[in-house]
């Protein structure tokens, strides 16, 4: 099953490594000035006290995850319609969460990290994105996940290990175990994040996305990260330079 999955992902027509230079020819917005992902230079960010903490609605409830699936270039977890939302953090509206998905690196996590965004030039081995929508405006909330000492990541890793067990069943779709989104995000301070206006990271590259990148990483074991990297080949991309980070 693992071998078949890797073949399918490598041959996907939108595979980042081979397609990125050609996107602008067919999708003009991909040549825009506010393209994502970016490198976050912490020496240049401007502190905004008015933004406040992000409120993740119903993230502590079990059974909000609907289904895991392989969509051809990543692992995606569908959320139950209307069950989970996001508000606060300077946002004008409540946003409904649709799904979250992942970006892994190669098996060599030092030379092939998986995160699309970077912090001071450093990319993490793994990232997760929560995708939300409110009318026509999209919002992506971005989580960094990286390994740490055993004592600091033990509890979180246990939850992620259960979640990873379901990844082993891909490409066959399957229902999710009854644990909550809050358990997966344990240890993340929702009041500390970076915010900027950017774009979708794949065509059509619309520049209508509000990005929120949380400062605290989700801490899971190195072995668990490497397990995920084995399942999914490198599906990250290069980043752009941008100004005006809040």
115 C-beta neighbours (distance < 10 Å), count:
27
- The predicted-structure confidence for 69-79, as pLDDT tens digits, reads as follows 766 667 788 88
Q: What is the pLDDT of residue 35?
A: 92
> What is the rounded CA–CA span in Å between residue 174 and residue 6?
19
E strands, 60-216, are: 65-70, 75-79, 85-88, 95-104, 118-119, 126-134, 137-146, 193-198, 209-214
* pLDDT, average across residues 196-211: 89
- The predicted-structure confidence for 137-155, as pLDDT tens digits, reads as follows 566 766 656 555 555 556 6
> What is the rounded CA–CA span in Å between residue 71 and residue 116?
18
Q: Which CATH class is domain 2-231?
A: alpha beta
DSSP assigned state of 176: P
39 C-beta neighbours (distance < 10 Å), count:
16
* Among 26, 73, 112, 117, the one annotated catalytic: 73
- The predicted-structure confidence for 20-68, as pLDDT tens digits, reads as follows 668 888 999 999 999 999 999 999 999 998 899 999 999 988 888 887 7
73 is catalytic: yes
Domain limits, the chain? 2-231
Q: Which residue in this structure is represented by tokens 């649709």?
A: 98
- Percent of the chain at pLDDT exceeding 90: 20
Predicted confidence band of residue 227 (pLDDT cuts 50, 70, 90): low
């Amino acid at each position: 099953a693992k071998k078949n999955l890797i073949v399918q992902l490598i041959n996907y027509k939108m595979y980042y490594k081979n397609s990125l230079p050609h996107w602008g020819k067919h999708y003009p917005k991909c040549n825009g000035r506010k393209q994502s992902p970016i490198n976050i230079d912490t020496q240049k960010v401007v502190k905004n006290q008015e933004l406040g903490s992000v409120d993740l609605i119903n993230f502590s409830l079990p059974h909000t995850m609907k289904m895991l699936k392989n969509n051809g270039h990543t692992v995606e977890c569908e959320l139950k319609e209307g069950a989970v939302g996001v508000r606060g953090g300077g946002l004008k509206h409540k946003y409904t969460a649709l799904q979250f998905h992942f970006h892994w690196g190669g098996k060599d996590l030092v030379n092939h990290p998986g995160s699309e965004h970077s912090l001071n030039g450093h990319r993490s081995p793994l990232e997760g994105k929560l995708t939300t929508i409110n009318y026509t405006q999209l919002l992506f909330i971005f989580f960094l996940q990286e390994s740490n000492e055993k004592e600091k990541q033990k509890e979180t890793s246990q939850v992620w290990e259960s979640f990873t067990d379901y990844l082993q069943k891909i490409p066959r779709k399957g229902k999710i175990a009854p644990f909550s989104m809050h358990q997966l995000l344990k240890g993340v301070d929702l009041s500390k994040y970076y915010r900027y206006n950017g774009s979708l990271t794949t065509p059509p590259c619309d520049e209508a996305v509000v990005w929120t990148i949380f400062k605290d990483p989700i801490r899971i074991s190195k072995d668990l990260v490497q397990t995920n990297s084995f399942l999914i080949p490198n599906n990250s991309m290069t980043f752009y330079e941008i100004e005006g980070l809040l």
